[in-house]
């Protein structure tokens, strides 16, 4: 069995994160509980940012991966910007102290309210995903009498070997404007006094494990940059989106340095600010979901361990068949048996792990579901009327609760029984 995953490691038979035993957190704060390692997030950010040192660049954290204010503040302190997809994310980013000139706004369905809020905030650019959205942004800017900064999200039609739900850069996906239409749209934008053309963007997918698709995308975007120049349209930003993968189960994703080594030569002599939108890379490995064993259930077909965390807490296994390492918080020398780790939600798809060799856990034992810092809490719900988990941020041997566990009252907040039913 492996003995370390990022800042998670065994010492004295107990699983620790940085200088804190996970058992302490589970006992003090209850489960299910999300735990994040501040030093891992910092290291990931620095590893990404420093390989582009010497170039003008902005790392805009894709905050949909984990939008807790404390995580955002930590990244803001490191100098990160944000990739947002809603006015809610804009509010969070601003509250956490991320400056507006480091914010990019992505997404195919920005509403008028969201467009107005982002223009007012003074963001770096909208990554525009359709001709109609461009018109809507132009109309809002004209009304506000404030030019709107735009870049087109171009669909480069590049294939990426990842789960089909998280591949976004093929022509059949809903994202971006078709490559062949981009020049025409830029020329339209250039004629509009209230649109300020800033750059060009592509985001081709998530959990990408090779450099090739990034290079193909960069090549395609740079050729557009050149064509636009011949039309007198000059871009200042090249945004290659996010998507860099992480190891969940022995994958060997390229390091940011591998990407930089191949990408930077292509950028030579070009006066373009590089923007990236990593989400998973920055936070996935920092986080775990702590859960308590409720029951063991052994049938003729299978061994199940029923735990108190479920698909409402961590949806990735149910949604994408995603693999997350599951480690016992107290190491055991008992020989393991193949076990499914399942939650209390009433669906067969409610599992956290399948067929894992675990040393027969007992009721009351704690398990850590690793690699859960990205798209864990942020995709959690109250399905089955289960209050959402608390979140903790660990700094060395210190820790802070950065989101309280929801209460039963939170579950019904805002709901009303109408007079017709009284
Ligand atoms: N930029 C844009 C425009 C995006 O849509 C995304 C993610 C990112 C950046 C960040 O991608 P990342 O670096 O995190 O791969 N819920 C799925 C992932 C969905 C990704 C959606 N877009 C999962 O749990 O795997």
Contacts 24+ apart (CB under 8 A), 173-182: 174/108, 175/108, 175/129, 175/203, 176/129, 176/152, 176/202, 176/203, 177/128, 177/129, 177/130, 177/131, 177/152, 177/153, 179/154, 179/155, 179/220, 179/224, 181/131, 182/152, 182/154, 182/224
Q: Is residue 96 part of a domain?
A: no
- 139 plus 256 within the same structural domain: yes
CA of 23 to the centre of ligand 1 (A): 31
Q: Whose CA is nearest to atom 16 of ligand 1?
A: 375
The closest-lying atom of ligand 1 relative to the alpha carbon of residue 316 is 24
Asked if residue 83 is part of any domain, the answer here is: no
Residues 123 and 267 both lie in one domain: yes
Statement to judge: residues 240 and 294 lie in one domain: no
Distance from residue 19's CA to the centre of ligand 1 (Å): 30
Query: What integer pLDDT is reported at residue 289 of this predicted model?
Result: 99
Residue 133 and residue 263 share a domain: yes
CA angle 300, 303, 305 (to 5 degrees): 145
Same domain, 343 and 360: yes
Q: What is the pLDDT of residue 167?
A: 67
For the Cβ of 153 lying below 6 angstroms from any atom of ligand 1, the answer is no
The tens digit of pLDDT for each residue in 235-252 reads 999 999 999 999 999 999
Pair 271, 338 in one domain:
no
**Residue 367, CB-side half-sphere exposure with 13 Å CA sphere:** 32
Q: Ligand 1: which residue has its CA nearest to atom 7?
A: 206
Quick one: which atom of ligand 1 is closest to the CA of 379? 16
Among 277, 304, 335, the domain boundary falls at: 277
Quote the tokens at residue 257: 């340095």
Ranges of residues in the chain with a pLDDT under 50 are: none
Rounded to 5 degrees, what angle do the CA atoms 280, 285, 291 make? 115
Q: Ligand 1 centre and the CA of 198: distance in Å?
A: 23
Verify that 180 and 133 share a domain, yes or no: yes
Are residues 242 and 168 part of one domain?
yes
Residue 161 belongs to domain with CATH number = 3.20.20.10
| Catalytic site positions | 346
Q: Indicate whether 50 belongs to any domain.
A: no
pLDDT score, position 3: 78
Within a domain: 363:
yes
316 lines ligand 1 (CB under 6 A): yes
Query: From the CA of 190, how far away is ligand 1's center (Å)?
Result: 30
* Ligand 1 centroid from CA 86, angstroms: 14
Which of 45, 104, 200, 206 gets mutated to test ligand 1 (max ligand atoms within 8 A of its CB)?
206
Ligand 1 neighbour 242 (Cβ under 6 A): yes
Q: Ligand 1 pocket, 65 CB below 6 A? A: yes
Residue among 67, 89, 163, 242 whose CB has most ligand 1 atoms within 8 A, to mutate: 242
Place of tokens 């290659």: 240
For ligand 1, is residue 205 a contact (CB within 6 Å)? no
How far apart, in whole angstroms, are the C-alpha atoms of residue 219 and residue 242?
16
Domain membership flag for residue 311: yes
User: Where among 226, 257, 277 does a domain terminate?
Assistant: 277
Residue of the CA atom closest to atom 9 of ligand 1: 242
Provide the residue range defining the domain that includes 177.
106-277
What local confidence, expressed as pLDDT, does residue 422 receive? 84
403 and 317 within one domain: yes
Query: Based on the domain organization, do 373 and 227 belong to the same domain?
Result: no
For residue 374, how far is its CA from the centre of ligand 1 (angstroms)?
A: 9
206 ligand 1 Cβ < 6 A: yes
**Number of separate domains in the chain:** 2
Ligand 1 binding pocket includes 375 (Cβ within 6 Å):
yes
Residue with tokens 């008028």: 112
90 in a domain, yes or no? Answer: no
Q: What is the model's pTM?
A: 0.97
Q: Which of 216, 243, 277 is the last residue of a domain?
A: 277
Residue 353 lies in a domain: yes
77 within domain boundaries: no
């Amino acid at each position: 069995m492996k003995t370390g995953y990022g800042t998670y490691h065994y010492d004295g038979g107990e699983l620790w994160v940085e200088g804190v035993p996970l058992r302490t957190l589970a006992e003090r704060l209850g489960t299910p509980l999300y735990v994040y390692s501040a030093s891992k997030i910092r290291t990931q950010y620095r590893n990404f940012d420093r390989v582009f040192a010497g170039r003008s660049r902005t790392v805009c954290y894709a905050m949909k991966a984990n939008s807790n204010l404390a995580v955002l503040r930590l990244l803001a302190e490191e100098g990160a910007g944000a990739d947002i997809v809603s006015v809610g994310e804009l509010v969070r980013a601003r509250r956490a102290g991320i400056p507006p000139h480091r914010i990019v706004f992505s997404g195919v369905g920005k509403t008028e309210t969201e467009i107005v809020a982002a223009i007012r905030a003074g963001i770096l650019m909208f990554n525009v995903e359709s001709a109609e959205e461009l018109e809507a942004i132009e109309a809002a800017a004209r009304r506000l009498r404030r030019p709107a900064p735009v870049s087109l999200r171009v669909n480069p039609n590049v294939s990426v070997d990842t789960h089909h739900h998280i591949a976004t850069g093929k022509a059949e996906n809903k994202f971006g404007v078709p490559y062949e239409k981009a020049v025409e749209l830029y020329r339209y934008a250039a004629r509009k006094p209230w649109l300020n053309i800033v750059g060009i963007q592509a985001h081709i997918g998530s959990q990408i494990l090779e450099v090739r698709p990034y290079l193909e995308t960069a090549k395609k975007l740079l050729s557009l940059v050149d064509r636009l120049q011949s039309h007198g349209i000059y871009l200042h930003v090249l945004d290659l989106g996010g998507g860099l993968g992480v190891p969940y189960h022995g994958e060997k994703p390229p390091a940011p340095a591998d990407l930089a080594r191949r990408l930077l030569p292509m950028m030579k002599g070009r006066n373009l600010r590089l923007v990236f939108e990593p989400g998973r890379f920055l936070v996935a490995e920092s986080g775990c979901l702590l859960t308590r064993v409720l029951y063991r259930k052994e049938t003729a077909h299978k061994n199940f361990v029923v735990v108190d965390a479920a698909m409402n807490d961590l949806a990735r296994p149910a949604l994408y068949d995603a693999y997350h390492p599951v480690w016992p918080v107290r190491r055991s020398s008992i020989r393991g048996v193949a076990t499914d780790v399942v939650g209390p939600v009433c669906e067969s798809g409610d599992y956290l792990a399948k067929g894992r060799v675990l040393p027969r856990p007992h009721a009351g034992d704690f398990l850590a579901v690793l690699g859960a810092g990205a798209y864990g809490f942020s995709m959690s719900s109250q399905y089955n009327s289960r209050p959402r988990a608390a979140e903790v941020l660990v700094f060395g041997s210190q820790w802070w609760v950065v989101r309280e566990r929801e209460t039963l009252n939170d579950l019904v907040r805002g709901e009303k029984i109408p007079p017709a039913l009284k």
